A = this chain, B = another copy of it.
């Protein structure tokens, strides 16, 4: 099969799947979305889409998948591409390879946040970066770190949301909502934590609340700098849409680093260092297409 064959791309979210058939250059030839039911329904529907699209446009050379989790993303593992202990009914033990192996094409599977990070690196706010950290602050908090287009991992994908930041209990006495850690960054700064603490979303609150949340996000930002030294940090997700938040995160991060890391990338106000996403809702499917290209290149 040619290295210029078609790419099947899957963005698998907890509520919906986005599927696309694209050229190797990234042009989308067919696209659909469907609800995330159980694999008994979702796997055949996914196969049908790719069957029909392939009949019309040509054979599929590789698949790229950016998925919700927890899922095994270690290509050296026997359970690569398999959902592990997700509470989502029916999905534990389901494996993308079961649904897609009939096409006889290589499959690369990564997490949703890594997929969005790769998408932003390819075509969004991370273009030109060697190392990019993309963080989503939404229902949960997670970070994908991309080095020259590939996501980094160790024995598992990263779990940045569970870092516990320094606290000031006078300023913010909220105990956090993480069932494992209480007041980790996810437990303090994700959308549900903000709703639980103040009864509404951050975009309906004032600058004091924004500053409190910004301080926790800035702890994550400065820790990402010290442990990955990215060329740029992108912060996306629903919480980041609150007015003034990205600016407050920049100010708090600059205060925390306090000039210690000297590099032209870290401009004075961090305006070009800490940014919002460039692709919006298309980051995931763009990253999935790139994962398909990577599957093909490493075949």
Contact = CB atoms under 8 A, between A and B. Distances in A.
A158 interface: yes
Given A154-B231, A166-B165, A265-B155, A260 B180 contact: yes
A164 to B, nearest CB: 6
A204 interface: no
Contacts of A165: 166
Given A260-B181, A262-B85, A230 B166 contact: no
Contacts of A223: 163, 223, 227
A155 B226 contact: no
Interface string A124-157: 0000001100000000000101010000111111
**How many copies make up the complex?**
2
A131 B154 contact: yes
Contacts of A181: 256, 258, 260
A43 to B, nearest CB: 26
A56 interface: no
Contact of A158 (B153, B222, B227): B227
A157 B229 CA distance: 7
A24 interface: no
A108 interface: no
A296 B184 CA distance: 44
Enumerate the 4 nearest inter-chain pairs by beta-carbon distance, A residue then B residue, closest first.
A154-B229, A131-B154, A180-B260, A159-B226
A250 interface: no
Q: What range describes how many residues of A lie at the interface?
A: 35 or more
Interface of A: 85, 130-131, 143, 145, 147, 152-160, 162-167, 180-181, 219, 222-231, 256, 258-263, 265
A262 B70 CA distance: 11
A266 to B, nearest CB: 8
A153 B224 contact: no
Nearest to A180: B260
Contacts of A162: 226, 260
Most chain-B CB neighbours within 10 Å: which of A162, A227, A230, A256?
A227
Given A166-B166, A256-B164, A155 B263 contact: yes
14 contacts: A130-B155, A143-B227, A152-B152, A154-B229, A155-B230, A156-B263, A159-B226, A160-B227, A163-B222, A163-B226, A163-B227, A166-B166, A166-B167, A180-B258
Contacts of A231: 154-155
A229 B153 contact: yes
A230 B153 CA distance: 9
B265 A226 contact: no
Contacts of A263: 155-156
Contacts of A230: 154-155
